[in-house]
Amino acid sequence: MSLQKGAFVLVDYVGKVKETGEVFDTTREEIAKKEHMYKEGDIYEPKLVVIGEGWVIKALDENLATMEVEKPAVVEIPPDKAFGLRDPEKVKRVPLKQLLAKDITPNIGMRVEYGGKTATVRAMGAGRVLLDFNPPLAGKTLIYETTVTRKLETVEEKIASLIHRRMLAVEQSKFQFTLKPKTTVNIEMPEEAFYLEGVQLAKRGIAADIQKFIENITTVKFVETFKAEPKKTDAKTEKESTKEPAKESPKEPTKETAKEAEEKPTAEVEAKT
């Protein structure tokens, strides 16, 4: 059974350039390491895609609707449906000294900022640098080796995946949430997420996604609980507090109290009279 537009799916893929076999993108850590494109801190795992929302390249997005879960597929995308054809007008030579003046020491293949745009250094010589302002994959036919690993069915699965999509640095299982009442999602933020860079933007994005894709949800609340650390007790003070109180030694009777004791009859004496 093929998938439908709007379905929540997890997608594993390896993106290659057909002409060279070069891998330019992947969700698989072992492939990234093998192709020397692994980036420390990046998360390698099946990617959440809501089919039809453009969360992956359009041509791949359109093909997802024809796939079946756990059945590998190969999608070939021509240049005009990928990153476009190469435009010769976007290739320009610039003086090397202009780049050096901006503290840029160019090397072939390097990506540089010039004139407010990003370009690739294609060649160097005679004091000039050839800059290509076309997208790096322009003019290339792309191959995506793709597998839809899972389709998410329940509301809880979908909400959890939408949270994780914008909070990749924190384990998905650390976010707890409840639907109470049915129009409100209450999300308990783990402490390690409090200080992430861009966390406020991420929270806005999560709220917008949940309200858009989860029916009847009108309110999204984030709960941040700050717990105090246990107070440290001074070892000396603690030791003193555990000591048994010193017993008071009996006081010696004074002459006055001794005389009073002789004159005052005791209860035992009174009982005998």
User: Among residues 119, 7, 100, which one has the least CA distance to residue 52?
Assistant: 7
Tell me if the pTM is above 0.95.
Answer: no
| Residues 56 and 48 sit within 8 Å (Cβ to Cβ) | no
Q: Is the pLDDT of residue 261 over 80?
A: no
- What is residue 164's predicted lDDT score, i.e. its pLDDT? 97
How confident is the model over 114-129, as a mean pLDDT?
Answer: 94
- What is residue 273's predicted lDDT score, i.e. its pLDDT? 26
Cα–Cα distances (Å) from 118 to 110, 133, 135, 156, in that order, read: 10, 6, 9, 41
- What is residue 247's predicted lDDT score, i.e. its pLDDT? 58
Distance CA 9, CA 21 (A): 27
Q: Is the pLDDT of residue 153 over 90?
A: yes
pLDDT-derived band at 270 (thresholds 50, 70, 90) equals very low
Average pLDDT, the chain: 88
Distance CA 4, CA 97 (A): 54
pLDDT-derived band at 228 (thresholds 50, 70, 90) equals confident
pLDDT-derived band at 235 (thresholds 50, 70, 90) equals low
180 or 59, which is more confident: 59
How confident is the model over 31-36, as a mean pLDDT?
Answer: 96
Residue linked to tokens 């009442």: 181
CATH number, domain 1-85+138-153: 3.10.50.40
Tell me yes or no: is domain 88-132 CATH 3.40.50.10810. Answer: no
Ordered by start, the domain boundaries in the chain are: 1-85+138-153, 88-132, 154-240
Q: Which fold has domain 154-240?
A: Alpha-Beta Plaits (3.30.70)
Give the model confidence (pLDDT) of 75-117 as tens digits: 999 999 999 999 999 999 999 999 999 999 999 999 999 999 9
Distance of CA 267 to the CA centre of its chain: 84
| Residues 149 and 70 sit within 8 Å (Cβ to Cβ) | yes
pLDDT-derived band at 243 (thresholds 50, 70, 90) equals low
| Residues 181 and 171 sit within 8 Å (Cβ to Cβ) | no
How confident is the model over 239-243, as a mean pLDDT?
Answer: 59
